[in-house]
Amino acid sequence: MQTTLDGIGLHKLFTYGYLNLKKNMQVINDLNVFPVPDGDTGANMVMTFGGGLAAVSGETVHIGRYMQALSRATLLSARGNSGVIFSQFVYGFGRGIAQKESITFADLASAFACATEDAYHAIITPTEGTILTVIREASEFLAENAEKYNGFEEGFAALQAQMTATLKKTPDLLPVLKEAGVVDSGGAGPVCFVDGMCAHLRGESAEDIP
């Protein structure tokens, strides 16, 4: 059971998250109907986070310094509306744990709170039923429940279930999604990302990610 995480461990988790995001890129693109049906949400997220991940060292032990480097690189790699929101989320996440050498699962609550705040500030007119709803409800879930879980595997499994449930209800919050019969493409991105992280925590190889 993994109860603490340093920069090296977080880099591995993020790598798995990115790999699963990349594997599902076309699926996410095909869901894209809001705000413009241009079919590039998944591609923009992959380019945004992939650019950030490629620019950092996976050997930085201090998690705050690792996130500082990653958040800057991700901001520079941001592409499209979804990429900008995602990059701001990453920046806020890093801001929330900037002084930490390592973190527990409970520390994610403050990181997600800062990340959600920055993501909402990235949009002039925030719209619910989108990626913003998925990350905000994840943040609220962690604020209420993060300290209940014994380690990252158990905690992320609960977070994965919560985020998936929020994604499924996005058509009820945004009529254009219900009309098209899809969930929000932007919201699908972080869910895929967390799915990949959970796969790593379960001990699966990158090839096992569906």
Please give the Cα distance from 112 to 134 (Å, whole number).
11
What is the structure's pLDDT at 167?
Answer: 97
What is the structure's pLDDT at 208?
Answer: 62
What is the structure's pLDDT at 2?
Answer: 87
The pLDDT tens digits along the chain (210 residues) read 789 999 999 999 999 999 999 999 999 999 987 766 677 999 999 999 999 999 999 999 999 999 999 999 999 999 998 999 999 999 999 999 999 999 999 999 999 999 999 999 988 888 999 999 999 999 999 999 999 998 999 999 999 999 999 999 999 999 999 999 999 999 999 999 999 999 999 998 766 655
What is the structure's pLDDT at 207?
Answer: 62
